[in-house]
Structure 1
Amino acid sequence: MYEAQINAYFDDPARRTQLVEAISRLARIRSVREDPQPGMPFGPGPAAALAEGLKLAEELGFTTHNYDNYVGAADLNDQETALHILCHLDVVGEGTGWTVTQPYEPKEVDGMLYGRGTDDDKGPVAAVLLAMQAVRELGVPLKRNVRLLMGTDEESGSSDLAYYYAREPYAPYTFSPDGEFPVINIEKGSYKPVFTQSWPEETALPRVKELHGGFRINVLPPEAECLLVGLSAEHVQSCCDAVATETGVRFEVRVEGDDLRVLCHGKGAHASTPEEGNNAITALLQLLCALPLADTPSTAALHSLNALFPHGDTAGHALGIAQSDEISGPLTLAFSLLEVTSTGLKGQFDSRVPICANESNCKAVAEASFARQGFAVQGEMDAPHHTPADTPLVQVLLKCYEQYSGRKGECLAIGGGTYVHDIPGGVAFGCAMPGFNGNMHGADEHTCIADQLTAAKIFAQAIIDLCA
């Protein structure tokens, strides 16, 4: 029921204009997590985005509630809530390499809307709001409520949802358009340990004085840089050229007094799909291991890291934890963060582990590999998330997807942790269509406007089927 009405509603050109403007209003806000301020647990950016999201919902006539700038809620009606739809308004840092537009200046080109957050997850927020508006304006009688939850800390651990669900109950049904269609019912677990090593202050030449790589644990680093002393620019440039040819990254060498600054430009990607990027940290390590550095503890540590994380190894083979299963697929690994100073280093990798991974065949093996190279390591494993495919929620969502997309519905397993990873019975549902790559977390992030409108149709039908 209501398919013809829903199609006619969203095929109105006014809906497209409304969608683009709503996404753009949210995407203009730099909602990257920063240090907390009074009343702003994740800094001013996420709080500003939440205020704008709630304003959008109120303009559409929905009842809203702000949970202390952790989460904002928008209710379609005052009935008992049957469905939670989880979206987030925080975004990862903008990084570099944008070509179509500036990160927070949304721009439409050839049916795509570019800007940080347009795909993850501000576009979905707008699509859900329009779906709720459609259900109300079409006069569909509902027996229960749908509540849109707009969070502000998904990219840094989802402490926003922990805050909300410590105060409110789970809904019978929950989905999040924080992934892709059809339905993501399996999300891998994760293992993201921190490893360290220290040494006395060094003076031998040539050596690495400092190194900085990566900016967020769940982003494959597009950039890394180091400061060298005791080497000629000509020699370093020659090695850079050779390693660039081998790895596909780009190096810059800058003279800064007696030092050389080497910048490595790779390609960012989401940490759950590291094979789609080009890791600047591991490429820089490969370069440093090709240079004639002094025999010092720092040099030995860099060689050890290069052995444990060779460039291009996104499965954990060198670390000894590579594994796979038929249900959830292979383990993936992204060496995301590294800081080296004159007296030590600290690093962290992000691995998404399949259902078959456990403490003994993953965590213990990695810890042993680090110990053999003289590193201390700390970190626990997080369990995978699995909602069976035969649950009523999954079956309804698959039907709605097939109804409006014209494609076959199926369940997917992914390495990324979506917003429902810790929600009992929850699944990820949209907004990206199969095969679409919006360059989430990378430069020139974008969303397909037509796909977002189709998603809104699907969500409207899902709301009707689950709440009417």
Structure 2
Amino acid sequence: MRYPSVADESDPSPRPGAPYGHEVRIVNDDIVIGRGALDDKGVSLVNYSLLRFFAERGQCFRHRVRMLFGGSEEPALNDIKWFVRHVGAPHQAIVTDGPFPVNNIQKGLLDVDVALPVGERLSGWHAGSSANTVPAVASIDLAGMDVDEIRGSIDHAGLDADTRRRITVTPSDLAGAGTVTIAAHGISGHASKPGGTINAIALLASVLTRSSLLEGRDAAVASAIAQWAGDPYAGTLGFAFNNAESGPTTSNLGIILPGAEFGVDHEGDRVPSDAIVMHLDIRYAVGQTAESILAAIRRHVEPLGGRLVNMLNDDPYYVPADDPRVELLTDTYNDVVNDAAANTAPARPVAMGGSTHARFIPDALNFGPEFHAEYVPSVDGIVMDSPDCIAPGTGSAHGVDEWVSIRNLRAAFVMYALGLIRLDRHLDGRGWGLFRILVCQGRAVSFGV
């Protein structure tokens, strides 16, 4: 089953494959707002400008430098897999699709599809639009019910004011007379960073359960989904895990679709029409195994008659923090920052839940361009906090209000320029032969060597 990478979360009727927005705004001559502004359109321009800068000034590298743009980073990085398999892996790669100073750990990626048998009301349920995005909107059409009846049930379900505000009940114009659409409006974000998000699927399933609008298998499945989707750290699915190296495991229930639309499972059997399929995007910590996670999921879904119908696993990415190349690029970041703001505390290599092309390029490194207060100390002149024009809890990657600071991109340019020159000399000193720098980016651009 192939899933779309992104979708417009402002669409009140989300569905797989929905188009995504293209509006771009510039605020105060510095903040660019729009999907992909940082991840990764902004840095793609930095990468292009960087190589043009070197070419125009006649910079002579000891090793050949190239820039590669991919078109299939999300969700499976099939572009770089194809490139490495058919063209060959570069001897060295720098990927510019992560946080500064250097990202040396990426969690394992496990995509899991689970089929759950349901009753009539949930059998046609579509929700969510992106496997790696916390869904901001989820809706369901209920036939044979009155708008006022449903509103009354929800009003008497004991919901808090904020939850009730996020629920809308309207007659359905698409599903025919006598059908009511219930929609939940959450807060979107990247699956790897669920903090501050609200999963609309969890919200809708919880409201359906608490308002007693479902019965039998529908009620049981909705109650379970509310718990599973509502816990982004996998405690309710039994595989919560955390360590100092890579942080907590995350689990995002991002898509639900009818079993008949899913097609066949990993064994070639067709998923029955009386089932729905939920898709889990799991980012698991170093030290945890995919096998233990799958076993935990089975223990929770099998009592409901559920089964795993598809799975895709990529093991964690890990480069030791004391690798000389990691130390070189980390020092480059700290040197540039300290030159601009003396006595700033040094930054250290960081772990993240996101995935980049570095995962599938041998010996690849991740170097910026993102400045996050959770990873690096605050620096004058670098914008780390969301600007006033971005609503609290929003502005993250993959959203329509994703943002980037032009000042930040300029700072990244300086770090890349210095880092490439230093790394070129370092690799030459180690006797590495041909050296290639790729700018590998999925949606728009990623930087690689």
TM-score range, shorter chain: 0.7 to 0.9
CA distance in 2, matches of 1:103, 1:128: 24
Per the alignment, residue 375 of structure 1 pairs with 306
Q: Equivalent residue for 2:107?
A: 188
- CA distance in structure 2 between the aligned counterparts of 1:152 and 1:164, rounded to whole angstroms: 11
Structure 2 unaligned regions, length at least 5: 13-19, 260-272, 339-343, 374-383, 387-394, 426-449
Q: Which residue of 2 aligns with 1:121?
A: 40
Question: Who is 2:372 aligned against?
Answer: 434
Distance in 2 of aligned mates of 1:106 and 1:327 = 37
Partner of 2:419: 462
TM-score (ref. length: structure 1): 0.73
Between structures 1 and 2, the one with greater strand share: 1
**Is 1:290 matched with 2:221?**
no
**Structure 1, 248-257 or 234-243: larger mean CA deviation:** 234-243
Change (3 A) 1:266 1:252: same
How many Å apart are 1:239 and its aligned residue? 4.7
1:253 maps to which residue? 169
Alignment size in residue pairs: 371
Residue 393 and residue 429 in structure 1: after superposition, are their counterparts in 2 closer, same or farther (change >3 A)?
A: same
After superposition, the Cα gap between the structure-2 partners of 1:298 and 1:125, relative to the gap in structure 1 and judged at 3 Å, is same
Is 1:314 the counterpart of 2:314? The answer is no
Question: In the alignment, is the contact (CA less than 8 A) between 2:330 and 2:347 conserved in 1?
Answer: yes
Q: Deviations over 1:192-241 (max 9, x none)?
A: 210112357x4xxxx45632211111001111000113443234224545
Q: Which residue of 2 aligns with 1:58?
A: none
- The 3 A distance-change label for structure 1 pair 104 and 443 is closer
Letter in 2 for 1:254: T
State the one-letter code of the partner of 1:390.
D
> Are 2:150 and 1:236 aligned?
yes
Is residue 186–residue 387 contact of structure 1 (8 Å, CA) maintained in 2?
yes
Backbone CA RMSD of aligned residues: 2.6
Structure 2 counterpart of 1:71 = none
Unaligned runs of 5+ in 1: 1-32, 36-90
What's the secondary structure of 1:283's corresponding residue?
helix
SS at match of 1:149: coil
Q: Find the partner of 2:98 among 170, 176, 179.
A: 179
SS of aligned partner of 1:173? coil
1:104 lines up with 2:36 in the alignment: no
- Which stretch shifts more, 248-257 or 410-419? 248-257
Instruction: Check whether the contact 1:239–1:287 (CA below 8 A) recurs between aligned residues.
Output: no
> Which whole-Å CA distance do the structure 2 matches of 1:346 and 1:249 have between them?
28
Q: Hey, what does 2:262 align to over in structure 1? A: none
> What is the deviation of 1:383?
0.9
SS at match of 1:119: helix
For residue 184 of structure 2, give the secondary structure of its aligned residue in structure 1.
Answer: strand
Give the Cα separation in 2 of the matches to 1:284 and 1:415. Answer: 26
Letter in 2 for 1:334: N
* Residues 100, 367 of structure 2: 8 Å contact kept: yes
Deviation readout 1:61-85 (Å, 9 max, x if unpaired): xxxxxxxxxxxxxxxxxxxxxxxxx
**AA at the equivalent of 2:234:** G
Q: Distance in 2 between matches of 1:294 and 1:455?
A: 52
Query: Which of 346, 362, 370 is the equivalent residue of 2:293?
Result: 362
CA drift at 1:161: 0.8
Q: How does 1:365-444 map to 2 (within 5 A)?
A: 365-378=296-309, 379-406=311-338, 408-435=346-373, 436=384, 439-444=396-401
2: distance between equivalents of 1:409 and 1:138?
A: 31
- What CA distance in whole angstroms lies between the structure 2 residues aligned with 1:276 and 1:429? 26
- The Cα shift of 1:397 comes to 1.1
CA contact (8 A) 2:233 2:249 kept: yes
1:403 Cα offset (Å): 2.3
Distance in 2 of aligned mates of 1:266 and 1:409: 34
Asked if 2 retains the 8 angstrom alpha-carbon contact of 1:140 and 1:464, the reply is: no
SS of the residue corresponding to residue 404 of structure 1 reads helix
**Is residue 90–residue 361 contact of structure 2 (8 Å, CA) maintained in 1?**
no
Secondary structure of the structure 2 residue equivalent to 1:146? coil
Aligned residue identity for 1:251: I
Counterpart amino acid of residue 433 in structure 1: F
Indicate conservation of the 8 Å contact 1:191/1:363, yes or no.
no
Residue 352 of structure 2 is aligned to residue 352 of structure 1: no
Partners of 1:94 and 1:116 within 8 A in 2: no
| Deviation at residue 246 of structure 1 after TM alignment | 5.9
2:302 aligned with 1:343, yes or no? no
Cα–Cα, structure 1 residues 298 and 143, in superposed 2: closer, same or farther, change >3 Å? Answer: same
Q: 1:172/1:310 Cα in 2 relative to 1: closer, same or farther (>3 Å)?
A: closer
Question: What is the letter of the counterpart of residue 93 of structure 1?
Answer: A
- RCO comparison, higher one (Cα < 8 Å, 6+): 2
